[in-house]
């Protein structure tokens, strides 16, 4: 082959690669925030208060109180009272997927339908059948957060704060070298002094009674630690993993399950307000929200639990808002999406192509202009 031909071929390949990588020429996103609400059901996200559960004394201690806070004659009103940020800001400027009543389906692709397999799926894009535990076992699959952190322009620009203490294993901190703070771990930012706010948060965690069980941190603490980190160090990618919804549901406490998600909605609103006031983040940040699995939908059994034997617990939802996302609001298209598509979509928002060894899931193209 002549040199000019080789050069042209080379140019052609290069152009092809760069087109695939940047996807959209006018992409605005320079920062991505991912927030997970563990085991929070699509039923409440789209339908608000579940009437059967509110009237069931086994699960609801204060039905009048809950009705007053979140009750309404129409589900559209109730969901707005429960999750005002989702149903004002995201519904008008972003996208909400997973309302099965509109035949817009989101599911996990893994068959196990519990946490570790769920988080593995969303961050590695691979519903690995070998992962059928919640144990502290280092994940061999490469995740999109470490992939981003390995790119020159995002080096040490990814931070993870979670309530559940298994994330250092799910995201394989040993290998990935990601900044991860989980469970009741002391906050320690390598090479940087702790701010007075962080010092207070450390003291608060020392006194956390861990009423959610085990070594799980209260979501408010996780939120404020992550928020303080964001304000101080301005990472390009932040993942906040909340857990309270799942813990309260497992305990059959419907009041707390709803109040927890309402509080989290307020936290996300505060975070987003800050994002839209800061020069690095304003109009350059995409926020992605999702859950790792659903739960059962029967009033007498099922809603407290999830797993392979409860079919509804594979049903999930997705929400997104940001400068590159068309404002579709509640998506009414008949379609089937999977949580595994979130990994490549996170990368695509940053103009990156996440192509792990185990094969690729498709980017959710409707999320990106
Ligand atoms: Zn879970």
The DSSP annotation for 310-325 comes to: -GGGGB--EEEESTTS
Instruction: List pLDDT tens digits, range 283-297.
Output: 999 999 999 999 999
d(CA 242, CA 56): 26
**Cβ contact 336:297 at 8 Å:** no
Q: What's the confidence (pLDDT) of residue 22?
A: 46
Ligand 1 center–CA 306 separation, angstroms: 9
- Residues composing the chain: 369
Ligand 1 center–CA 39 separation, angstroms: 5
Q: What's the confidence (pLDDT) of residue 215?
A: 85
**Cβ contact 250:44 at 8 Å:** no
CATH H superfamily, domain 29-367: Alkaline Phosphatase, subunit A (3.40.720.10)
Ligand 1 center–CA 42 separation, angstroms: 14
pLDDT at 10 over 80: no
d(CA 327, CA 325): 6
Q: What's the confidence (pLDDT) of residue 19?
A: 42
Ligand 1 center–CA 119 separation, angstroms: 8
Q: Phi first, then psi: give them for residue 276, nearest 5 degrees.
A: -80, 5
Ligand 1 center–CA 21 separation, angstroms: 32
Ligand 1 center–CA 167 separation, angstroms: 12
> Chain centroid to CA 237: how far?
12
User: Binning pLDDT at 50, 70 and 90, where does residue 53 land?
Assistant: very high
Give the whole-number percent of the chain exceeding pLDDT 70.
93
Average pLDDT, the chain: 93
Ligand 1 center–CA 323 separation, angstroms: 29
Q: What's the confidence (pLDDT) of residue 155?
A: 96
**Cβ contact 235:155 at 8 Å:** no
Name the residue among 235, 218, 231, 244 with its Cα closest to residue 179.
235
Q: What's the confidence (pLDDT) of residue 235?
A: 97
Ligand 1 center–CA 117 separation, angstroms: 9
pTM above 0.85, yes or no: yes
Compute the C-alpha angle 117/121/124, nearest 5°. 125
Helices (H) and strands (E) in the chain, counts: 16, 10
The DSSP annotation for 156-191 comes to: T-EEEEESSTTHHHHTTHHHH--EEEETTPPP--TT
User: Binning pLDDT at 50, 70 and 90, where does residue 34 land?
Assistant: very high
Q: What's the confidence (pLDDT) of residue 301?
A: 67
Ligand 1 center–CA 215 separation, angstroms: 15
Instruction: List pLDDT tens digits, range 75-127.
Output: 999 999 999 999 999 999 999 999 999 999 999 999 999 999 999 999 999 99
Ligand 1 center–CA 250 separation, angstroms: 10
**Cβ contact 69:262 at 8 Å:** yes
**In which residue are the tokens 């609400």 written?**
37
pLDDT at 2 over 90: no
Q: What's the confidence (pLDDT) of residue 172?
A: 98
Ligand 1 center–CA 38 separation, angstroms: 5
Ligand 1 center–CA 174 separation, angstroms: 23
Ligand 1 center–CA 20 separation, angstroms: 34
Instruction: List pLDDT tens digits, range 121-147.
Output: 999 999 999 999 999 999 999 999 999
Ligand 1 center–CA 86 separation, angstroms: 21
Q: Please count the other Cβ atoms lying within 10 Å of the Cβ belonging to residue 10.
A: 10
Q: What is the mean pLDDT of residues 4-25?
A: 48
């Amino acid at each position: 082959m002549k040199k000019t031909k080789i050069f042209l071929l080379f140019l052609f390949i290069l152009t092809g690669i760069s087109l695939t990588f940047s996807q959209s020429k006018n992409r605005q996103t320079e920062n991505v925030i991912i927030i997970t609400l563990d085991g929070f059901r699509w039923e409440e996200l789209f339908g608000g208060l579940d009437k059967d559960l509110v009237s069931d004394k086994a699960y609801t201690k204060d039905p009048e109180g809950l009705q007053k806070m979140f009750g309404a004659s129409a589900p559209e009103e109730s969901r707005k009272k429960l999750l005002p940020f989702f149903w004002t800001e995201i519904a008008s400027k972003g996208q909400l997927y997973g309302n099965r009543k509109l035949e817009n389906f989101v599911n996990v692709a893994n068959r196990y339908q519990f946490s570790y397999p769920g988080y593995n799926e969303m961050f590695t894009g691979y519903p690995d059948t070998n992962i059928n535990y919640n144990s502290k076992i280092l994940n061999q699959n490469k995740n999109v957060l470490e992939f981003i952190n390995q790119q020159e322009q995002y080096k040490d620009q990814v931070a993870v704060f979670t309530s559940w203490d298994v994330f250092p294993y799910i995201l394989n901190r040993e290998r990935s070298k990601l900044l991860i703070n989980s469970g009741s771990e002391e906050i320690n930012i390598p090479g940087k002094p702790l701010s007075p706010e962080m010092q207070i948060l450390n003291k608060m965690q020392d006194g956390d009674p861990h009423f959610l069980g085990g070594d799980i941190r209260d979501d408010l603490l996780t939120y404020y630690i992550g928020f303080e980190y964001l304000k101080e160090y301005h990472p390009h990618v932040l993942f906040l993993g909340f857990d309270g919804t799942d813990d309260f549901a497992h305990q059959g406490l419907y009041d707390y399950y709803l109040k927890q998600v309402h509080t989290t909605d307020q936290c996300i609103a505060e975070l987003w307000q800050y994002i839209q006031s800061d020069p690095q983040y304003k109009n350059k940040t995409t926020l992605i929200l999702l859950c790792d699995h659903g739960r059962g939908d029967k009033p007498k059994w099922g809603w407290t639990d999830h797993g392979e034997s409860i079919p509804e617990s594979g049903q999930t939802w997705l929400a997104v808002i940001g400068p590159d996302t068309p404002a579709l609001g509640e998506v009414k298209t008949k379609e089937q999406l999977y949580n595994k598509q979130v990994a490549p979509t996170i990368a695509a928002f940053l103009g990156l192509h996440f192509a792990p060894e185990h094969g690729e899931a498709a980017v959710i193209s409707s999320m990106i202009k």
